Structures are given as structure tokens and as C-alpha cells.
Amino acid sequence: MNLSIVGGGNLGVAIAKGVREANACTKISVSRRNVSKIRHLKEIGISVTADNQECIRQADIVIVAVKPFQVERVFDDIRDHIDNKVIVSVVTGKDLDEIETLLGRKTSIFRAMPNIAISQKESMTCISYRNGNSDQKVMVENLFSKMGEIIFVDDNMMDACTVMAACGIAYAMRFIRAAMQAAIQIGFDSNAALKIVTQTVLGAAQLLKANDSHPEQEIDKVTTPKGCTIVGLNKMEHEGFSSSVIQGIQHSFEAIDKIKLQ
């Protein structure tokens, strides 16, 4: 299977690297206008071009990874060259109706919302689709599931998916940074702090996945009555930890309409 990615920016390049790393496609090509910025991809066997039509010529799947305001121009370029190709948009905020209207034709369209951990084959990718047959669905499912976890969702959940999975990377990073600041305050240098915190967060996530458990079940295992863990956790809650995470996520969700125009 051959893959093309139109829009070799942060996410497009992360997808290309993840696909290469996972050996998920035979040929990968990536386009952007300023092609010099992605020439380095050639070193890992990925073709690059500034010509979108050339980029998609041999593709079975075309991933469109540009900003919302750039998508119309890209569709103008590729509209007449997508017969028998599966189109996957990762563009934030453009729902399947809008994509179909912008494309100006009825074709199988998938929408995927991965995050940049796709470069490490650890993405959380939410997918919706229209007019796709079962072979195409399996094709898209197979592609993204080689680079992390996937779920299929109704298209009207994609904004929520964007906030939880794509923005979620930044929220997790901010927790890591805060814990590092505390680690340095109690005696570790920055390198040790980063190592301790990242491995601990990774371990916590692995426990939940391996045990199929709720966070509170795992917390119960490490909170001794009157111990230092529960004291710290309760202080975090008194200072508004859960409340600020919930409010931040809600705020991102309410702001997503504004970025649809950017």
C-alpha cells in the first residue's frame, strides 16, 4: 500500500515517521510548498515534493494534513486526481459535511485525529468516515492501528477527540513539567527529574492498560492510611488539581470553533 501526505508540517511529518518506523506502507511521499524543510525525510526513504498532484499519483491513501484555512487550496489541487484513492483528513474542525462540500464530489472520506506521538507509534487516533466500504475501513484501521490505539467515533465527536487526544499531549507534558519542578525542589537535577517523572507517568499508564483498571483502584494500592501519598494527593485537590484539569479541557473544547477559521 502506498501513502501520500499532503502537508508536511508537524503532524504530517510525525505521521510519515511513524508509518516508516512501523513499516506500514510500501511507498510514502510527503508534500509541502517549502519542500526544503522536509528534505531530511529522504534519508529515511520518504519521497518529498512541492507538487501535490505528483505526491498523490501513486497513492492508495492520501492524508491531508494542512491547517483548516489551507484545505480548500489543497482540494483544488487534488480534486480531479483522487479516483480510487482513500482520502483521510486530519484537519482540525472540518467535519465530514464540510470536507465533502469542499471536495465537491461524493467519495469515501475518512477523518482521523491522531496526536504527535504517532511518530513513536504511540498515537491515540480517533476515526470517523463516510461512504467508505469495508475494505477501505480495514485499510485505514490497519494503517493507524500500527501506530498506536484507534477508536471509531461519530463525526460529531471529533472536536472532543481533538481536545482529549491531540491537545491531551500538551496537558500531559504540563503535568510532567510541574512534577519535574517539584522534583528539582526536593533535590534532583533536571536530567534525573525528567527521567524519574517520564518513566513514572509511563508506568502509571501501562498499569491502567495492563490491569484494565480505573485510576482510583491503582491509587488505593499506593495510599497508606495517614501516609505521605494521600497527604500529597489531598493537598493537590485542595489546590484545585482535578478542577483545573477539567476546566482547562472544557475551555479548549469551547475554543475549538475559533481555530476552525485559522
Ligand X SMILES: NC(=O)c1ccc[n+]([C@@H]2O[C@H](COP(=O)([O-])OP(=O)(O)OC[C@H]3O[C@@H](n4cnc5c(N)ncnc54)[C@H](OP(=O)(O)O)[C@@H]3O)[C@@H](O)[C@H]2O)c1
Positions that interact with ligand X (CB under 6 A): 6-12, 31-34, 52, 65-68, 70, 73-74, 90-92, 113-116, 166
Distance CA 29, CA 42 (A): 9
- Minimum Å gap between C-beta 208 and ligand X is 22
Q: In angstroms, rounded to a whole number, what is the distance separating the alpha carbons of residues 56 and 165?
A: 27
- β-pair partners for 87: 62, 109
Bridge partners, residue 28, by sequence: 3
Q: Which is nearer to ligand X, 25 or 38 (CB)?
A: 38
Q: How far apart are CA 135 and CA 138, in angstroms?
A: 5
Nearest distance in Å: CB 115, ligand X: 5
Q: How many CB atoms neighbour CB 154 within 10 A? A: 7
Least Å from the CB of residue 142 to ligand X: 20
Query: Cβ closer to ligand X: 29 or 115?
Result: 115
Strands 47-49, 27-31: pairing kind: parallel
- Asked if residue 32 lies in contact with residue 8, where contact means CB atoms within 8 angstroms, the answer is yes
Cell of 124: 491515540
Question: Shortest approach of ligand X to residue 203 CB, angstroms?
Answer: 24
Minimum CB distance to ligand X smaller for 66 or for 193 = 66
| 127: enclosing H helix or E strand | strand 123-130
In whole angstroms, give the CA distance from residue 92 to residue 261.
Answer: 10
Q: For residues 92 and 136, which CB has a smaller minimum distance to ligand X in the complex?
A: 92
The string over 239-249, giving b where at least 16 C-beta atoms fall within 10 Å of a residue's C-beta and e elsewhere, is eeeeeeeeeeb
Of residues 52 and 183, the one with the C-beta less far from ligand X: 52
User: Smallest gap, in angstroms, from Cβ of residue 185 to ligand X?
Assistant: 30
Cell of 257: 470553533
The least distance separating ligand X from the CB of residue 180, rounded to whole angstroms, comes to 22
For ligand X, the nearest residue by Cβ is: 9
Judged by beta carbon, residue 74 or residue 180, the one nearer ligand X is 74
Q: Judged by CB, which is closer to ligand X: 12, or 18?
A: 12
Q: How far is the CB of 257 from ligand X (least distance, A)?
A: 13
